[in-house]
Amino acid sequence: MEKDKGIKVLAQNRKARHDYFIEETFEAGIALQGTEVKSLRAAKANLKDSYARVENGELILYNMHISPYDFASRFNHDPLRKRKLLMHKREIGKLAGYVQEKGYALIPLSTYLKRGKVKIELALAKGKKQYDKRHTIAEKDAKREIERAFKNKQAYS
């Protein structure tokens, strides 16, 4: 996500790419209270254990922690409350089908500002097994070693 497109990343779920195979990503709006927006702009959010579910034709986000806004006193919000995600009905239906039929999970990857509105990047993901995670780490290390060797070779040429 680039800054020149008017996008500012507020929070990321880095562990999601390690724990899941990401099949497809979607952009969704999110229904927030006033102090939540101010907290998000101050980058006080955590997506680590969050997930989404389709309930009664609506997309609901669970366990996204948005810290209470420091200057709001009694108007603050519950940090772990359920939040409604905003998508078109046919997109929600498509996601519901994948989750029920094929065993996918809906995992938020990042929260960002796009043209002044808070958006969530939602991924359709399948869980990795332990051996898949080890394989991913080994690939990453091998790629890093190849790049390091190539860089050293160029330095001595």
CATH code (residue 87): 2.40.280.10
Residue 136 lies inside a defined structural domain of this protein: no
pLDDT at residue 73 tops 80: no
Lowest mean pLDDT among 15-29, 48-62, 71-85: 71-85
User: 129: which 2 tokens?
Assistant: 């097994």
Q: Calculate mean pLDDT across residues 89-118.
A: 87
> Taking CA 35 as the corner, what is the angle to CA 28 and CA 85, rounded to the nearest 5 degrees?
15
Residue 148 lies inside a defined structural domain of this protein: no
Residue 138 lies inside a defined structural domain of this protein: no
Q: Which residue has the higher pLDDT, 72 or 143?
A: 143
Phi, psi of 56 (to 5 degrees): 55, 40
Residue 135 lies inside a defined structural domain of this protein: no
Number of separate domains in the chain: 1
Residue 84 lies inside a defined structural domain of this protein: yes
Q: What mean pLDDT, rounded, does the chain reach?
A: 83
Q: Do residues 113 and 8 touch, judged by C-beta distance below 8 A? A: yes
Where in the sequence is the domain holding 92, given as residue range(s)?
3-128
Residue 150 lies inside a defined structural domain of this protein: no
Residue 41 lies inside a defined structural domain of this protein: yes
As a whole number of angstroms, the distance between CA 45 and CA 34 comes to 15
pLDDT at residue 77 tops 80: no
As a whole number of angstroms, the distance between CA 111 and CA 6 comes to 14
Residue 77 lies inside a defined structural domain of this protein: yes
Nearest residue to 72 (alpha-carbon basis) of 113, 31, 30, 34: 34
The pLDDT-based confidence of 141 (bands split at 50, 70, 90) is confident
Q: Calculate mean pLDDT across residues 101-129.
A: 86
- Give the tens place of pLDDT for each residue, 30-42: 988 878 888 888 8
